[in-house]
Amino acid sequence: MIYLNGQFMPIEEARVPVLDRGFIFGDGVYEVIPVYSRRPFRLREHLKRLQHSLDGIRLANPHSEDEWVRLIGELVERNEEEDQSLYLHVTRGVAKRDHAFPPGVAPTVFMMSNPLVTSTPELVESGVAVVSAVDNRWLRCDIKAIALLPNVLLRQLAVDAGAAETLLLRDGFLTEGAASNIFVVRDTVLLAPPKDNLMLPGITYDVILELAAAASLKTEVRRISEHEVRTAQELWLTSSTKEVLAITHLDDQPVADGRPGPLFRQMYPLYQDYKNTVMRK
């Protein structure tokens, strides 16, 4: 079951006109919300980021927060899986093709649920390989825009190299991954790039920093140079569906000894505990 413009229906029946500005211009924003045991994880934070993205593209929010919560709750109930990955998407609607905003057009609101596929215990144990690339995206990476062609091309570099993700560097500094945020451990300090216009403010990123603070780990949010990335003791990637994973190889080179490091081994169970506690509330 999906949701489209006020109605729930099977995905096979869902239709969007070809003149939808999402299709024509990539003119829209989205969210991906993990659902554990039928409970959306950090829903308020995802809805806050949605508002930031909508503000960023100057599109009025079609729903109040309470309406979103109700619609998302209903979609979760109408789908079978206990754990779901909820995709939510708002475009500027259907209009004659013209770059300028069309007046008086209703936005298109689409949501779908897929089974949530989190990382296997083997992957958590082994870590993943990533490749690096120059971050050639636009300067509003803080907006979760549906126009993802640069991310698609960058992620494909990883796929072509048999790696899990592409780590992005802009002007010699780490930004994030093609579809994830990146953390760096140096001298037992957890380093994270600042939330600015060059990266998506990850919901998982915030969880990791909160958990690190609660565990009294040393953290620093600051720009991280390519040299610091390449000589790190640990690298991690985070996202709503991948949660937190150790990066054990970068461009075919091992990160430290090529195995998940001690801080990752400390953080991973903290994340799982936190998730389970929140879900039980």
Give the footprint of ligand PLP on this chain (CB under 6 A).
Answer: 32, 151, 176, 179-181, 200, 202-205, 238-240
At closest approach, how far in Å is the CB of 244 from ligand PLP? 10
Residue 95 or residue 130: which is nearer to ligand PLP going by CB? 130
The 8-class DSSP code of residue 202 comes to -
Question: Minimum distance from CB of 279 to ligand PLP (Å)?
Answer: 17
Task: Return the closest-CA partner of residue 60 out of 94, 109, 11, 120.
Answer: 109
Query: Using an 8 Å Cβ cutoff, are 219 and 267 in contact?
Result: no
Residues 18/113/47/173 CA torsion (nearest 10 deg):
-80
Give dist(CA 177, CA 49) in Å, integer.
18
Q: Which of 149, 140, 218 is nearest to 183 (CA)?
A: 218
- Choosing from 96, 144, 242, 281, the catalytic residue is 144
Q: Which is nearer to ligand PLP, 225 or 241 (CB)?
A: 241
Judged by CB, which is closer to ligand PLP: 3, or 205? 205
Give CA–CA dist 65/193, Å, rounded: 29
- The enclosing H or E element of 245 equals strand 243-250
For residue 191, the minimal CB distance to ligand PLP (Å) is 16
- What does the block give as tokens for 1? 């079951």
Quick one: 1 or 65, whose CB is closer to ligand PLP? 65
Is the Cβ of residue 18 or residue 149 nearer to ligand PLP in the bound state? 149
Is residue 144 annotated as part of the catalytic site, yes or no?
yes
Nearest approach in angstroms of CB 268 to ligand PLP is: 15
Question: Coil, strand, or helix at residue 114?
Answer: strand
Task: Count each helix (H run) and each strand (E run) in the chain, helices first.
Answer: 8, 15
Closer Cβ to ligand PLP, 95 or 275, answer by number: 275
- Two structure tokens written together for 107: 């936005």
* Residue 9 CB, nearest approach to ligand PLP (Å): 26
Instruction: Please name the helix (run of DSSP H) or strand (run of DSSP E) that holds residue 213, with its range, or none.
Output: helix 203-214
| 3-class state of residue 249 by DSSP | strand
SS3 190: strand
Angle at Cα 169 formed by Cα 165 and Cα 171, nearest 5°?
170
Least gap, CB of 239 to ligand PLP (angstroms) = 4
Residues with a catalytic annotation lie at 144
